[in-house]
Amino acid sequence: MTKYFSKKSIEAPPGYNRWLVPPAALAIHLCIGQVYAFSVFRLPMTKLLGVSQSAAGDWKMEQSFWPFTLAIVFLGISAAVFGRWVERVGPRVSGIASAFLWSGGFFVGALGLWLHQLWLVCVGYGVIGGCGLGIGYITPVSTLIKWFPDRRGLATGLAIMGFGGGAMVASPLSDRLMTWFGGDESTGVAQAFVALGSIYFPVMLAGAFAFRLPPGQAAKDDFAASNQSNVSSGSMQANQAMATSSFWCLWLVLFCNVTAGIGILDVASPMIQNMFPGKLDAPLAAGFVGLLSLFNLVGRLGWSTASDRLGRKRAYILYLGLGIALYFLAPLLAKAGWLGCFVMVIAFIMSLYGGVFATIPAYLSDVFGTGFVGSVHGRLLTAWSCAGIAGPLIVNFVNAHQMQARISKERSYDLALWMMAALLVVGFVANLLVKKMISTQPLPPTAKPSLANHAKIVSNATGEQSYKANLLMVLGWCAVMVPLTWGVSMTLFKAARLLNLW
């Protein structure tokens, strides 16, 4: 059994098609991406006792955000703590662990909802599920980078795209589950938690068992792990990377970007309703939020792929430079009453936000090497944990202060948006200070990856092997694209009224 789960046992044979690996990554990220759809549970969680309306003993709205906040915090913590372990055991073991933790978090959270114990929901969804989030988030990244050394941006974009798309699938699915299980005596939230955990577990297991490593990769990893001097291995370990200024510059880039993006995402619905009073109702505002999720998803794949041609530093100059200009422009468009332009500007900002997320693993591999990119990425994700707290706090505090100063609702978010632009200026400068840290000395022949020329490997497959591989590839891609397409179509349907498409 130990041998079956070892890294050596999941090395792909010659002729293996590397395009079989991205669906496995998408399967995991589509599941854990549900965390961005947690807001659909917040209002029903305040009516668990009263059902139709909040009762005396029900939780307050300001309490219902804690499970989500803890999940984001423990995402970063677990990614940092278990990053090296993920590299050591390989994607199959870490993917299985992520499945147990993420789904188990839903089951424990459901028990907390059933017993009306918020602390148990926080432990289940926030702590246990958050650990599954962190491990699941970094599991596919280093594997895909090793399979696509020629297209690192595309590889990471394919994986992390699923995290953005997971919310678009989970949001309408969760709403339907609560409607199905709910009634006069229940909001259906606890039952929806059980259903989601039951759905996600087999999907994530299938993704974990579908992972393969490039031929010879286990030997290469062993060589790199045994070599403590980063010069000959061509890769820096996490502790070595953290001792460099480039790591902390990238940490600051990610922190500034996430603080700005997640701060706006947290208040997207009330923000647009306040800035354009009388023009939008709640369903239209929900369409705006869905449109932001869609652009976030598209940006994760599109911008990260573009970084393969632009180069990572130049790509970040573009991301952050455009973001600064657009954050500054958005309040001016709102003041002029140009709703359509405002919507598209914020949506474009969210595409850049997703691009920074998706490109960061490829950037890390360029700066520190591919050997330990999973563990280095895990340490860097602590910036996400900090930003997940800082962003909403800054935006909500500034808005409350503006309201106390008797600034009109229409202008109460202007200062917050300009502060987000200032944050991106800090990230822009930090990006300019990043330097490549790895040695260019080539690896010895015994440690070189056998994926140097993937086309030759694939051409060695027999006709029957090629047919089976193509069939598996089609089935794998269909399995992940069908729910993703459904989520996108639901989002477009809700956003259509907002953009006056009919």
Say if 341 falls within a structural domain.
yes
Count the domains in the chain.
2
Identify whether 7 is part of a domain.
no
Strand, coil or helix: 11: strand
* 446 in any annotated domain: no
In this structure, are 428 and 297 located in the same domain? yes
**In 3D, which of 491, 242, 487, 249 has the Cα closest to residue 378?**
242
Q: What is the pLDDT of residue 54?
A: 78
How far is Cα 231 from Cα 444, in angstroms, rounded to an integer? 12
Mean pLDDT by 10 residues, the chain (502 residues): 72 81 91 85 84 83 81 90 87 94 96 94 95 92 82 80 83 87 86 95 94 74 52 70 93 93 78 80 69 86 89 93 94 88 91 89 87 85 87 83 84 89 95 80 43 44 58 84 86 72 42
Are residue 264 and residue 161 in the same domain, yes or no? Answer: no
What are the start-end ranges of the H helices in 124-183? 129-147, 152-181
HEC-encoded secondary structure of 434-500? CCCCCCCCCCCHHHCCCCCCHHHHHHCCCHHHHHHHHHHHHHHHHHHHHHHHHHHHHHHHHHHCCCC
pLDDT recorded at residue 390: 87
The pTM (predicted TM-score) of the whole model is 0.80
Q: The tokens 């699923």 sit on which residue?
A: 162
Among residues 438, 453, 478, which one ends one of the domains? 438
**Residue 418, domain extent:** 231-438
Q: Is residue 256 part of a domain?
A: yes
89 shares a domain with 36:
yes
460 inside domain = no
Of the candidates 282, 252, 254, 251, the residue with the CA atom closest to the CA atom of residue 269: 282
Whether 4 maps to a domain, the answer reads no
Long-range contacts of 478-484 (CB under 8 A, 24+ apart): 479/23, 479/27, 479/206, 480/23, 480/26, 480/27, 480/30, 480/162, 483/30, 483/169, 484/26, 484/30, 484/162, 484/165, 484/168, 484/169
Question: Do both 293 and 419 map to the same domain?
Answer: yes
Cα separation, 476 vs 484, in Å, equals: 13
Q: Nearest to residue 224, comparing CAs of 38, 444, 382, 494?
A: 444
The pLDDT, as a whole number, for residue 458 is 43
Same domain, 119 and 261: no
What is the distance between the alpha carbons of residues 343 and 388, in angstroms, rounded to a whole number? 23
CATH (domain of 493): 1.20.1250.20
**Residue 497 belongs to a domain:** yes
Which 3 state secondary structure label does DSSP give 93?
helix
CA 255 to chain centre: 14
User: Encoding tokens for residue 429?
Assistant: 């400068």
Considering the domain architecture, whether residues 389 and 473 belong to the same structural domain is answered as: no
Q: Is residue 157 part of a domain?
A: yes
Contact 31, 204 (CB under 8 A): yes
Sort residue 51 into left (φ over 0), alpha (ψ -120 to 50) or beta: left
Q: Residue 381 is which amino acid?
A: L
Does residue 205 share a domain with residue 265?
no
Nearest by Cα to 320 from 346, 345, 353: 353
- Same domain for 238 and 210, yes or no, is no
For residues 408 and 497, state if they share a domain: no
Q: Does residue 422 share a domain with residue 329?
A: yes
If asked whether residues 29 and 72 sit together in one domain, one would say yes
Q: Judge if 496 and 351 occupy the same domain.
A: no
For residue 394, give every residue at least 6 positions away whose Cβ sits within 8 Å of its Cβ, in sequence order, or none. 259, 263, 416, 419
